[in-house]
Structures are given as structure tokens and as C-alpha cells.
């Protein structure tokens, strides 16, 4: 079976478990090439995506930054555009295909009903994890900005021929906070993926009965 047929059959199997009035909940399957922009920061969003195959690079452009900050790559089973799950409509990030990818596209209403109907994932848990991830990403950007600012200040001090022990301590503390939030993001991404894998396993068991 080809990868494409495998993907289609996955949706087909889910479709078989749905009543006719629920089949409208099935997502659109979108294909993107490497480098394609899926959505841009500042746009109004009406859909969210589950990564079915491939990798997405998520970046965020703070208003006072010259270049965007890379937040985290999102792989299979991950969600992009998840801010829609808690009421936000303006995209706070840009998502770009890091490699050729296939995404499942949902409206918020489709997503909630689809995952409840298909037994794919506990929606409440997913929403809570997504909110936590958004908070951690915001703190990560603050830590990144603080680190960059202190690096600039330290460079100016070195150019002037002296450096402050206090500034060095602050810079070290900022670096520690940066790494801590980066680790939190990675850990929560792993938790989201593990939750998805567990749900898929449970779905397969139910399907086999």
C-alpha cells in the first residue's frame, strides 16, 4: 500500500465508524511543498491543522525584533494554529513547511466533534496542553529577548574596555531561563505526541473489536 493510499484509508476507516450526518466532520487533506507558507502571523485564522506527515517550522516575529524567532519544529501528530482552540482568531505565529508535508485541516467545530466522534484524542486534555504550550512559548520569547539584550550590553562593555560582574551574573541567569523554557517546550511537545500515540493505539484496539 502506498503512503498516499495509507493516509486515505485512515480517513476512510474513521469515516466507516461515523453516521452519515457526522461525515461532514472529516478534515480536508492538504499537501504542502518544502518552503510553502501555511499561514502567516497577523492573519485571521479560521482553521487549524494536524500534521499527518512531514515537518512544520513555526516562527514568531515580536514587534520590536528585526528578524523572527524560531519557536519549534512541529512533526507528525502535532498541531499548528491551535490558538483557535481557546478563542484566538489572529495568528500569533507563521507556519512554513520544513519538508514536504500532508496536513489535516479543520475548523474548530470540526476538530472538536471529529476527535470526540473518532475517539482520536481527549479534547479537554489537548486544549489544556495547548494553552500550556502557548504560555511557555511566550516566556521563551521573553527569555530569548532578555538574553539578546544582555549580549548586546556585554559587547558594548567589552568594547569600552571593562565588564561588570553583575551584568555577567544577569546574563548567565537569562541563559539558564532560556534553556529551561526551551526544555519545557520540547517536553510539552513530546507529551502532546505521546498523548496522540496513546489515543491512536486505543482507537486501533477499538477498531479491531
Per-residue pLDDT for 8 more than 60? Answer: no
Cα pseudo-dihedral 12, 14, 19, 20, rounded to 10: -30
- Share in percent of the chain as helix, strand, coil (round to 5): 55, 20, 25
* pLDDT-above-90 percentage for the chain: 10
Residue 208: pLDDT above 90?
no
**Mean pLDDT, range 152-167, rounded to an integer:** 61
pLDDT at 1 over 70: no
User: Residue 142 sits in a domain of what CATH number?
Assistant: 2.60.120.10
Q: What is the domain range of residue 158?
A: 3-208
Comparing 73 with 102, the larger pLDDT belongs to: 102
pTM, 2 dp: 0.56
What cell does 86 get? 481557546
Phi, psi of 65 (to 5 degrees): -105, 145
Per the structure, the count of domains in the chain is: 1
Please tell me the distance from the alpha carbon of residue 183 to that of residue 95, in angstroms, as a whole number.
Answer: 21
State the cell numbers at 174. Answer: 537569562
Q: Over range 199-205, report the average pLDDT.
A: 48
The pLDDT of residue 193 is above 70: no
Torsion of CA 82, 88, 89, 91, to 10 degrees: -60
Amino acid at each position: 500500500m502506498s503512503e498516499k493510499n495509507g493516509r486515505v484509508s485512515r480517513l476512510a476507516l474513521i469515516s466507516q465508524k461515523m453516521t452519515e450526518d457526522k461525515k461532514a466532520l472529516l478534515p480536508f487533506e492538504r499537501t504542502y511543498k518544502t518552503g510553502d507558507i501555511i499561514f502567516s502571523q497577523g492573519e485571521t485564522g479560521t482553521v487549524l491543522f494536524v500534521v499527518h506527515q512531514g515537518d512544520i517550522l513555526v516562527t514568531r516575529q515580536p514587534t520590536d525584533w528585526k528578524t523572527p524567532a524560531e519557536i519549534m519544529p512541529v512533526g507528525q501528530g502535532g498541531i499548528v494554529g491551535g490558538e483557535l482552540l481557546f478563542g484566538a482568531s489572529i495568528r500569533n505565529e507563521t507556519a512554513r513547511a520544513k519538508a514536504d508535508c500532508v496536513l489535516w485541516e479543520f475548523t474548530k467545530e470540526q476538530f472538536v466533534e471529529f476527535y470526540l466522534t473518532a475517539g482520536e484524542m481527549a479534547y479537554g486534555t489537548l486544549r489544556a496542553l495547548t494553552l500550556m504550550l502557548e504560555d511557555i512559548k511566550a516566556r521563551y520569547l521573553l527569555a530569548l529577548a532578555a538574553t539578546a539584550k544582555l549580549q548586546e550590553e556585554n559587547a558594548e562593555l567589552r568594547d569600552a574596555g571593562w565588564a561588570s560582574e553583575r551584568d555577567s551574573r544577569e546574563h548567565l541567569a537569562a541563559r539558564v531561563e532560556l534553556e529551561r523554557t526551551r526544555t519545557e517546550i520540547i517536553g510539552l511537545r513530546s507529551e502532546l505526541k505521546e498523548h496522540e500515540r496513546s489515543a491512536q493505539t486505543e482507537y486501533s484496539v477499538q477498531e479491531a473489536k
